[in-house]
């Protein structure tokens, strides 16, 4: 069974009553509940645990990691970022959520700033499936709506995705590449835009469906480990 670790910064839920009212047990609990319903084996980890809850043992026992962070990206220790980075390249899947676009681990994997435009106005968003045949779109209609969401808009400073699955339409006039697939080393990465902390987005059925699909996709077999280095004998040595 696919083993998922749901990581969350877990700060605003405790400091901001608006967020705390929506997610009294933390965003990670809502994400984890959705994934458990979808049949995954789920644990959670948060910033203020030792090693941010991401020990070597935890990562070794994780097939897919989901990541939510916002106000404390800088507090994630560099050596933990390195550890997660190595695990992704070695085949662990990674689902980066919403404001996680600015996390150290996503920037590290993308090689770009991952900057974007944004606006907090509780706008209506409609997400369109532009790659219907991708496993992450399974079970979705042609589009789905989030009644209130923070606007995330282009430009979005990422490498062109290997596959672009979702494009977001915002009431205020913007569009956004909201569902982006990448392969890095043996690991699969999915960036998924919805998830602002002041709206109950992780209870939304289609958002949960996308996250579950993304976990399933990112957990697929990643091939044998790669052997690098000096290959002294030519394979075609006479």
Least Cβ distance, residue 49 to a copy of itself (angstroms):
26
Helix axes 205-218, 27-37, angle to 10 degrees: 70
205 touches a copy of itself by CB under 8 A: no
Tell which one of 163, 198, 200, 206 touches a copy of itself (CB under 8 A): 163
CB 148 within 8 A of CB 120: no
Coil, helix or strand at residue 205: helix
224 touches a copy of itself by CB under 8 A: yes
∠ Cα 129 135 140 (to 5°): 40
| Closest of 111, 113, 64, 82 to residue 218, by C-alpha | 64
Least Cβ distance, residue 132 to a copy of itself (angstroms):
4
Contact stretch for a copy of itself (CB under 8 A) within 8-16, 18-26, 140-148, 195-203: 140-148
Q: Which of residues 169-198 bind a copy of itself (CB under 8 A)?
A: 169-175, 177, 182-188
Cβ distance to a copy of itself smaller for residue 39 or 111: 111
Coil, helix or strand at residue 121: strand
Whether omega for the bond prior to residue 155 falls within 30 degrees of 0, making it cis, is yes
Q: Residue 63: CB partners within 8 Å, gap ≥ 6?
A: 2, 3, 4, 92, 93, 218, 219
Least Cβ distance, residue 84 to a copy of itself (angstroms):
12
Least Cβ distance, residue 233 to a copy of itself (angstroms):
8
Q: What is the DSSP string of 29-41?
A: HHHHHHHHHTT-E
164 touches a copy of itself by CB under 8 A: yes
Contact stretch for a copy of itself (CB under 8 A) within 39-47, 55-63, 167-175, 201-209: 167-175
73 touches a copy of itself by CB under 8 A: no
Cβ distance to a copy of itself smaller for residue 28 or 177: 177
CB 226 within 8 A of CB 184: no
154 touches a copy of itself by CB under 8 A: yes
Region of 114 on the Ramachandran plot (φ > 0 left; ψ -120 to 50 alpha; else beta)? left
Least Cβ distance, residue 82 to a copy of itself (angstroms):
12
135 touches a copy of itself by CB under 8 A: yes
Tell which one of 25, 41, 132, 147 touches a copy of itself (CB under 8 A): 132
CA distance 127 to 123: 13
Binding mask 96-125 toward a copy of itself (x if CB under 8 A, else -) reads ------------xxxxxx-xxxxx-x-xx-
Per the DSSP assignment, residues forming a β-bridge with 182 are: 189
235 touches a copy of itself by CB under 8 A: yes
């Amino acid at each position: 069974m696919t083993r998922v670790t749901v990581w969350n910064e877990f700060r605003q839920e405790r400091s901001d009553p608006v967020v705390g009212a929506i997610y009294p047990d933390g965003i990670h609990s809502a994400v984890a509940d959705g994934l458990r319903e979808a049949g995954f084996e789920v644990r959670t980890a948060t910033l203020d645990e030792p090693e941010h809850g991401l020990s070597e043992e935890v990562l070794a026992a994780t097939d897919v990691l989901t990541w939510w962070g916002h106000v404390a990206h800088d507090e994630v220790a560099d050596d933990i970022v390195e550890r997660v980075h190595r695990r992704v390249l070695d085949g662990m899947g990674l689902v980066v959520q919403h404001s996680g676009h600015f996390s150290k681990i996503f920037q590290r994997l993308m090689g770009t700033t991952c900057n974007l435009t944004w606006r907090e106005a509780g706008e209506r968003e409609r997400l369109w499936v532009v790659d219907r045949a991708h496993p992450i779109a399974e079970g979705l209609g042609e589009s789905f709506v989030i009644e209130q969401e923070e606007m995330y808009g282009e430009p979005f400073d990422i490498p062109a995705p290997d596959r672009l699955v979702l494009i977001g339409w915002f009431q205020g006039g913007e569009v956004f590449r909201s569902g982006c697939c990448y392969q890095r080393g043996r690991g699969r990465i999915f960036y998924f835009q919805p998830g602002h902390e002041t709206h109950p987005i992780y209870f939304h059925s289609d958002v949960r469906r996308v996250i579950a699909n993304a976990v399933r996709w990112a957990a697929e077999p990643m091939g044998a480990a790669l052997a690098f280095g000096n290959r002294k004998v030519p394979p075609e040595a006479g």
